[in-house]
Amino acid sequence: MGWDAFARGPKGGININSDAANDFKYKALQVKRNIGSADCLLETGALDCSNCAEMIERACGLSPWTEELWNPRNMQWDWNFKYKDEDAWAYHSAKVFIETCIEHDLTIRFSF
């Protein structure tokens, strides 16, 4: 089994609103256009690859290999770090995922 991150409602509920769902779809398309690819679940409001987990950890300093519900609005994020060219899709997928969660006041549930 692998690592996954799922956007959830503000209090951890399974459903996200339609504005957030549409925003994830739109932003996933932007990442694909700009970078060439994106995490395969980004358009659904989730992340699938542990490469994205690494980017999240680098941006906030906390391990996303946890069962705790995260509220990214209450966390410090610094996306100003270097990554390998071949990891651009993971960096941008993770960054868009976190920024969209913050914008729509969503929480994050991890599984692995």
Average the pLDDT over 40-51 and give the result.
96
What pTM does this model have?
A: 0.95
**Pairwise CA distance, residues 77 & 60, whole Å:** 5
Average the pLDDT over 78-91 and give the result.
98
pLDDT at 2 exceeding the cut of 90: no
Which of 2-6, 27-31, 67-71 tops mean pLDDT? 27-31
Question: Which two three-digit tokens encode residue 93?
Answer: 């997928």
Q: Report domain extents, the chain.
A: 4-111
pLDDT at 15 exceeding the cut of 90: no
Burial 56-73, CB ≥16 within 10 A → b, else e: beebbeeebeeeeebbbe
